[in-house]
Structure 1
Amino acid sequence: MRPQLLALLARAPAYGYELKQGLEQTFGPAYPQPNIGQIYVTLGRLEKGGLIRGQEVAQDGRPDKKVYEITEEGIQELAEWFAAPTEGPRVRDEFFMKLVLAPGTELADQLTLINNQRRHCLTMMRGLNRLAAEEQGNRVSQLLIEGAVLHLQADLDWLERCQEELT
């Protein structure tokens, strides 16, 4: 969540709740939303690391709130994050480890594992399709959902290949 908060603060200074709202409005419900406690813990770490600075702002009749802004060090870290490629395919896939290690244990059958994983992928896909129908107006959320659905479809194709090869 560090780079996401830094990116929002690179746009404009904000306090924690505004950052939470910014994430929700930008990504919609398809993106796992952190709770406000996670946001403030992360802001504390970013501030301690010198990537942001906070300033108390007085409010009439209410507790002060802390407004955060990104520092030069934060801008540098964010620029490095944008420039770095994102990790590619998972070679250490936990499901594949189960599939390969199950034979001989008498605890799991490969075909059962594949079928359970297939059902799980299809359930997730149905949930994402429902979410997509609800998020018609949010293009960012639609792209996020579409990417997740395409990954699930690739996983289903791969499960079919595993079934052909291993069972």
Structure 2
Amino acid sequence: MRLHLLALLAGGPAHGYELRQALEKLLGAAYPQPNIGQIYVTLGRLEQAGLIKGRLVSQSDRPDKRIYEITDAGREAVDAWYETPSETPRIRDDFFMKLALAHGTGRPDQIDLINKQRRHYLNLMRALSRLETGEATGDARIAELLIEGASLHLQADLDWLERCQEELE
């Protein structure tokens, strides 16, 4: 979450609740809602690392709030993050490890593992399809793309499970 918050702060200063709202608006229901406590803990760590700096702003009718802004070091970290390709393939995937380890012990049954995982993926796909809202523009389109990407990944995982089952039967 640290780089996500840094990227948002690269767009301008904000306080924790504004950052949470920005993530929710951008990603919608397609992404787990960020925990405000986690956001503030992460902001504190980013500030300690010198990637952001915070300042208190007094409010007449509410408690003071802390506004954060990105530092030059934070901008460099965001730039490096954007320049670095995301990790794939998912060799360290938890299910992959279960399947590999079950092979050596024979317990649990690998086909049972595959079938349970397949049911889980199908349930996830159904849940994702309920999130799809059709034609979207602006920030909503980003959420739609996230849903579409997750669905495509799940379909690829289902295809791989089919291949595993064919190979193991």
TM-score (norm 1): 0.93
Aligned residue number for residue 49 of structure 2: 49
Quick one: percent identity of the two aligned structures?
64
- Residues 70-118 of structure 1 show CA distances to partners (whole Å, capped at 9, x for unaligned) of 1111111111111111111112332222223324646411211111111
Whole-Å separation in 1 of the counterparts to 2:134 and 2:49: 39
CA distance in 1, matches of 2:58, 2:104: 66
Equivalences for residues 72-111 of structure 1 within 5 A: 72-103=72-103, 105=105, 107-111=107-111
Aligned pairs (5 A) from 1:117-156 = 117-133=117-133, 136=136, 138-156=140-158
Q: 1:7-18 residue pairs with structure 2 within 5 A?
A: 7-18=7-18
TM-score by length of 2: 0.92
Please tell me whether the aligned partners of residues 135 and 141 of structure 1 are also in contact (alpha carbons under 8 angstroms).
Answer: no
Tell me the amino acid that sits aligned with residue 2 of structure 1.
Answer: R
Q: RMSD value over aligned CA atoms?
A: 1.7
Deviation per CA, 1:15-40: give whole Å up to 9, x if none: 11000000101111111221110110
For structure 1, the residue ranges without an aligned partner over 5 or more in a row are none
In the other structure, the counterpart of 1:58 is: 58
1:29 maps to which residue?
Answer: 29
In structure 2, stretches of 5+ residues that fail to align are: none
Note if 1:20 corresponds to 2:16: no
